[in-house]
A and B are shown apart, each in its own frame.
Chain A
Amino acid sequence: MSPDILEDAMELWFGPQHVSAHGWAAKLTLVGDYVVECDPNAGYFHRSAEKVLEFKNFRQGALVLERMCMLEAFLAEYPYVAAVEKLAEIEVPERAKIMRTIMMELSRLHSVQFWWGQFNAELGFFTMALWPWVDREYTLDAFEELTGSRHTVSYASPGGVKYDFTDKVLTQINRAVNRFEDRLPKFRDMQMGSPTFRARTKDIGLYDVKQGLKWGLSGPPIKACGVPMDLRKDDPDPNLAYDMVDWEVPIIENSEHPGQSDALDRMEQRFKEAEVAVEIIKQLLPQLPDSGPIINPKARGKANRLPEGEAYGRVEGARGITTLWLKTQEKAQTAYRAKIRGPCIASYYALKDLVPGAKFADFIVIFGSLDPYPGWWDR
Chain B
Amino acid sequence: MSETKTSASTIGRQIINKYPDVQSQPLEDNKIELIVPGEKIRDVITMIDELLDDALPESAFGIDLENDQYNLIYIFWSYTNRILLQLRVALEGEKPEIDSVCDIFPGFEWHEREAREMFGIEFRNHPDPRLLLLPDELDGAYPMRKRFKTDQSRLQETGIKPPKPRPKPGGEDK
User: A321 and B106: CB pair below 8 A?
Assistant: no
- Chain A residues, Cβ within 8 Å of B79: 227, 229, 234
The size class of the interface chain B forms with chain A is 20 to 34
- Chain A residues, Cβ within 8 Å of B1: 209, 227
User: A43 and B133: CB pair below 8 A?
Assistant: yes
- Chain B residues, Cβ within 8 Å of A36: none
Could you tell me the distance between the alpha carbons of A377 and B132 in the complex, rounded to whole angstroms? 10
Could you tell me the distance between the alpha carbons of A213 and B1 in the complex, rounded to whole angstroms? 11
Which candidate, B14-22, B56-64, B158-166, is the interface stretch facing chain A? Answer: B56-64
B48-101 contacts to A, CB under 8 A, are: 53-59, 61, 63-64, 73, 75, 77, 79, 82, 84, 86
Closest to A211 in B: B106
Contact partner of B58 (CB less than 8 A), chosen from A55, A209, A341, is A341
User: A214 and B61: CB pair below 8 A?
Assistant: no
Residue A42 interfacial (CB < 8 Å): yes
Could you tell me the distance between the alpha carbons of A43 and B111 in the complex, rounded to whole angstroms? 13
Contact partner of B107 (CB less than 8 A), chosen from A46, A50, A215, A379, is A215
User: B110 and A218: CB pair below 8 A?
Assistant: no
Could you tell me the distance between the alpha carbons of A282 and B108 in the complex, rounded to whole angstroms? 39
Residue B11 interfacial (CB < 8 Å): no
Could you tell me the distance between the alpha carbons of A321 and B107 in the complex, rounded to whole angstroms? 14
Contact partner of A43 (CB less than 8 A), chosen from B82, B105, B134, is B134
Residue B122 interfacial (CB < 8 Å): no
The size class of the interface chain A forms with chain B is 20 to 34
Could you tell me the distance between the alpha carbons of A158 and B59 in the complex, rounded to whole angstroms? 24
- Chain A residues, Cβ within 8 Å of B109: 349
Residue A33 interfacial (CB < 8 Å): no
Closest to A41 in B: B132
User: A321 and B144: CB pair below 8 A?
Assistant: no
User: A353 and B63: CB pair below 8 A?
Assistant: no
Contact partner of B56 (CB less than 8 A), chosen from A213, A327, A337, is A213
Could you tell me the distance between the alpha carbons of A41 and B105 in the complex, rounded to whole angstroms? 20
Q: How far is the CB of B139 from chain A (nearest CB, A)?
A: 12
Could you tell me the distance between the alpha carbons of A42 and B106 in the complex, rounded to whole angstroms? 17
Known: A42-B110, A214-B105, A214-B107. A323 touches B59 (CB 8 A): yes
User: A46 and B133: CB pair below 8 A?
Assistant: yes
Could you tell me the distance between the alpha carbons of A218 and B144 in the complex, rounded to whole angstroms? 27
User: A214 and B132: CB pair below 8 A?
Assistant: no
Residue B135 interfacial (CB < 8 Å): yes
User: B131 and A339: CB pair below 8 A?
Assistant: no
Q: How far is the CB of B173 from chain A (nearest CB, A)?
A: 34
Q: How far is the CB of A207 from chain B (nearest CB, A)?
A: 12
- Chain A residues, Cβ within 8 Å of B55: 213
Residue B150 interfacial (CB < 8 Å): yes
- Chain B residues, Cβ within 8 Å of A312: 75, 84, 86
- Write out, one digit per residue, whether chain A residues 214-250 have a CB within 8 A of any chain B CB (1) or not (0): 1110100000000101000011000000000000000
- Chain B residues, Cβ within 8 Å of A216: 56-58, 105, 107-108
Known: A51-B150, A321-B58. A214 touches B133 (CB 8 A): no
A120-169 contacts to B, CB under 8 A, are: none
User: A235 and B82: CB pair below 8 A?
Assistant: yes
Could you tell me the distance between the alpha carbons of A336 and B146 in the complex, rounded to whole angstroms? 9
Q: How far is the CB of B46 from chain A (nearest CB, A)?
A: 13
User: A349 and B84: CB pair below 8 A?
Assistant: no
User: A48 and B143: CB pair below 8 A?
Assistant: yes
- Chain B residues, Cβ within 8 Å of A346: 107
Contact partner of B61 (CB less than 8 A), chosen from A55, A227, A325, is A325
Residue A345 interfacial (CB < 8 Å): yes
User: A43 and B63: CB pair below 8 A?
Assistant: no
Q: How far is the CB of A239 from chain B (nearest CB, A)?
A: 14
Closest to B148 in A: A51
Q: How far is the CB of B107 from chain A (nearest CB, A)?
A: 3
User: B150 and A42: CB pair below 8 A?
Assistant: no
- Chain B residues, Cβ within 8 Å of A377: 110
- Write out, one digit per residue, whether chain B residues 118-133 have a CB within 8 A of any chain A CB (1) or not (0): 0000000000000111
Q: How far is the CB of A302 from chain B (nearest CB, A)?
A: 19
User: B82 and A234: CB pair below 8 A?
Assistant: yes
B1-28 contacts to A, CB under 8 A, are: 1
Pick 30 A–B contacts, CB within 8 A, sort by A.
A42-B133, A43-B132, A43-B134, A46-B133, A48-B143, A50-B144, A51-B144, A213-B56, A214-B57, A214-B106, A214-B107, A216-B56, A216-B108, A218-B56, A234-B82, A312-B75, A312-B84, A321-B56, A321-B58, A321-B77, A323-B59, A323-B75, A325-B73, A325-B75, A336-B63, A339-B61, A341-B75, A345-B110, A346-B107, A349-B106
User: 14 other contacts beyond A48-B143, A215-B106, with CB at 8 A cut-off?
Assistant: A209-B1, A210-B53, A214-B106, A216-B105, A216-B107, A234-B79, A321-B58, A323-B59, A325-B59, A339-B61, A341-B58, A346-B107, A349-B109, A378-B133
What are the 10 tightest A-B residue pairs by CB atom distance, in nearest-first order? Answer: A216-B107, A229-B79, A341-B59, A43-B133, A46-B133, A339-B61, A337-B63, A216-B57, A215-B107, A213-B56
**B interface with A by C-beta (< 8 Å):** 1, 29, 53-59, 61, 63-64, 73, 75, 77, 79, 82, 84, 86, 105-111, 131-135, 143-144, 150
